[in-house]
Amino acid sequence: MSYHGFKSYLPQQDLLGFALLAILLLVIFPLSMDIFRLNLVGKYLTYAFVALGLVLCWGYGGILSLGQGVFFGLGGYCMAMFLKLEASNPEATKIQSTPGIPDFMDWNQLTELPFFWQPFHSLTFTLIAVIVVPSIFAYFIGVAMFKRRVGGVYFAIITQALAAILTILIIGQQGYTGGVNGITDLRTLKGWDIRSDEAKYILYFVNVAILFLCLFAAQYVRKSKLGRLLVAMREREDRVRFSGYDVSNFKIFVFCLGAAFSAIGGAMFTLQVGFMSPSFVGIVPSIEMVIFCAVGGRLSLLGAVYGTLLVNWAKTSFSESFPELWLLAMGGLFIAVVLAFPNGLAGLYQTWVAPRVDKWLANLKTPRPLTTNPLESRS
Amino acid sequence: MFADYSMAELTSIFAMQAFAGLILFSVFVLMALGLAIIFGQMGVINMAHGEFMILGAYITYLTSHIFSEYAQNLFDIYFFVAMILAFIVTFALGALVEWGLIRHLYKRPLDTLLATWGLSLILQQIYRSVFGAREVGVTLPDWLMGSVALSESIEIPINGLFVMGLTLIIAVGVALMMYRSRWGCQVRAVVQNRTMAGAVGINTEKVDRMTFALGCGIAGIAGSAFTMIGSTGPTSGQLYIVDTFLVVVFGGASSLLGTIASAFTISQAQSTMEFFLSGSMAKVLTLLVVVGILMLRPQGLFALKIRR
């Protein structure tokens, strides 16, 4: 990284891609859509955070986690707990038998706020918790699994089991978590009404800004020595280990990073959609997020964003017109992506479009040799 | 916790819960046996395994309807016909899936997982379109109804006993096939060293297809047995798939004995705890303990001692 400077961090092609995405998200979408549709796009973009984490974990590191919904959910629930506490101040809840606690606790005969809800009165704590809680959780899972060299398929199954456990736990502990309905009826953030159209516009732009921060962070990881090591580990783990690297630490780091991204996505989801429920935690949403990443291209950061937007757009339009066809289409998509285009949209772009763009770029300037890098040529 | 119950009541509670656990154990074993062959022996993750099981259940449901419409006098034995049909259909579908999908992905296990998940979504939607979204149940023949009273407070349902007997027969059958038949010998050879197995003249592609299809066929029988103790809906398979994978992984993926032992441990733990805690907490605790043990001992309970 340091030996090439900015040019190697963001080569011209990537720069162009980032700029195009920025124009699409910041100019074209807000100008061409009403607030309802824009809010929907914002919701999809929160899944893109997860897909981004999966590109690093799965595409680069070769670690397939089927439990990213756990981290998405943890981040989302942290945010929702803060918003719920603000929405259930003593005046708003004075008809309850215990005013000042969230309504679902009152329905479940709880008479005081459980201890783990207490710190969520503070916004600062909440914002820290959104990132730190899922990261610590991911760290523990990572240490337990990767230090013992559990990987691949076993890791996928165990993360999937964790997603199932968390869902059952949230649904079962209705009094503490809101049960199957989740935490609903969220109104204000420090007195600012998040349900107004104006707030939705602002939240959309905040969401896009944070997404770009995460994209830049992911790009940094991808281009740094760590990114190279991840690819090397994915291909020949033993050789990296014999070269003197502690493989498990790199895996733990990238898994935690993916978890943190997902958690940010979850928090932004809660803010934009106004509720959080266990249906975004379990096995099905976790696997769906993997398919967003796979459709976009498991090796492409921008591909993950486009893949998420495209699959979700298809899902919404399909479910509106032919709900019974959606599952068939989704299943077909899984199979087609795996069998026919393992590198997703980004792979198709690389084979068919990228050579032309290169030519065009080269024609724009005085011809100069293209810098190709064998390790990165597939991305 | 125990103070409210008398000694005799406690004994019968434990007996009944243990028996409920045994039925759960049978279902786990039936589902896990198919998976232990596919995942444990071939290393293929079949996320659509639950859907194969449900297919067996739906076939049993159809057969029971056909028998009650056209062959009322043979209704008592419809179940055996249904089981054979379920096996044949799921076996054929399994062979088809292996041919169309799995064989292209042997080198990419994680991709198999995604592709079979896609397959499971498609199958679920097909079931929903054909059989409707509501759960269906079968009518049991008279001789399977009722229960055997062992003492005043301990009663054991006959259909549960039947499922357990069936499980025993199938488990013994699979063990014989794996460890005593020529085919089982070939499967184990292919698993241990594909290239060498091919070199000594085993048709590895054919063995793979047979193995996968047989695993699916056993799932079909499991589904058939499942109709006796529960109703079937398009998404019932998904409920069991995580449990089943955990059973297989917990037991040590390549050991049939391990699979059975872990199915026993998990089901007994879950059903005993279910009585004292809520059902969801019992499940959470069981799964957490299993995941915890797997973190300490990733190779599972019964591991083959081989270097990787």
Per residue in B91-116, pLDDT tens?
999 999 999 888 888 888 888 888 99
Compute φ and ψ for B144, nearest 5 degrees: -95, -10
Nearest CA in chain A to B243: A161
Nearest to B119 among A160, A290, A331 (CB): A331
Cβ-in-10-Å burial (0-12, 13-18, 19+) of B72 comes to exposed
pLDDT in tens, chain A (379 residues): 444 567 777 777 788 888 999 999 888 888 888 888 899 999 999 999 999 999 999 989 888 898 899 999 999 999 999 999 888 888 777 778 778 788 888 888 888 888 888 888 889 999 999 999 999 999 999 998 888 887 778 888 889 889 989 998 998 888 888 888 888 888 888 888 888 888 899 999 999 999 999 999 999 998 888 988 999 988 888 899 999 888 899 999 999 999 999 999 999 999 999 889 998 988 888 988 988 898 888 888 898 999 999 999 988 888 888 877 888 888 888 898 888 888 888 888 888 887 887 788 778 765 555 555 555 544 4
Provide the pLDDT for residue B25. 85
Mean pLDDT of B137-159: 75
Domains, chain A, in order of start with CATH, read 11-367 (1.10.3470)
Nearest to B121 among A144, A283, A327 (CB): A327
ipTM of the complex: 0.83
- Which H or E run contains B149? strand B147-149
Provide the pLDDT for residue A211. 94
Which stretch, A365-369, B45-49, B132-136, B229-233, has highest mean pLDDT?
A: B45-49
Mutate to test the interface with A, among B35, B114, B278, B307 (most CBs of A within 10 A): B114
Provide the pLDDT for residue A72. 95
Mean pLDDT of B276-288: 81
CA distance B127 to A289: 24
CB atoms within 10 A of CB A134: 30
B307: confidence class by pLDDT, cuts 50, 70, 90: very low
Q: Which two tokens stand for residue A318?
A: 């399909």
Provide the pLDDT for residue A373. 54
Nearest to A172 among B284, B291, B298 (CB): B284
**Which residues fall within 8 angstroms of residue A18, CB to CB, at 6 or more apart?**
A10, A212, A215, A302
Nearest CA in chain A to B112: A338
User: A237 contacts in B (CB within 8 Å)?
Assistant: none
Provide the pLDDT for residue B216. 93
Provide the pLDDT for residue B93. 95
- Whether the predicted pLDDT of B131 surpasses 50: yes
Nearest to B242 among A150, A154, A283 (CB): A283
The CA-atom distances, in angstroms, between B199 and each of B103, B207, B210 are: 19, 14, 19
Q: Which two tokens stand for residue B30?
A: 């039936």
Provide the pLDDT for residue A114. 86
CA distance B62 to B246: 31
CB atoms within 10 A of CB B131: 17
CA distance B21 to A129: 40
Residue A291 CB-half CA count within 13 A: 28
Mean pLDDT of B66-75: 81
Q: Do B238 and A294 touch (CB under 8 A)?
A: no
Mutate to test the interface with B, among A291, A327, A343 (most CBs of B within 10 A): A327
User: A287 contacts in B (CB within 8 Å)?
Assistant: 114, 117
Provide the pLDDT for residue A368. 53
Least confident of A4-8, B138-142, B285-289: A4-8
Q: Which residues pair with residue B136 across a beta bridge?
A: B232
Q: Do A161 and B283 touch (CB under 8 A)?
A: no
Provide the pLDDT for residue B287. 85
Provide the pLDDT for residue B119. 92
The shortest C-alpha distance from B39 to chain A (Å) reads 10
CB of B37 closer than 8 Å to CB of B174: yes
Compute φ and ψ for B148, nearest 5 degrees: -100, 130
Nearest CA in chain B to A156: B110
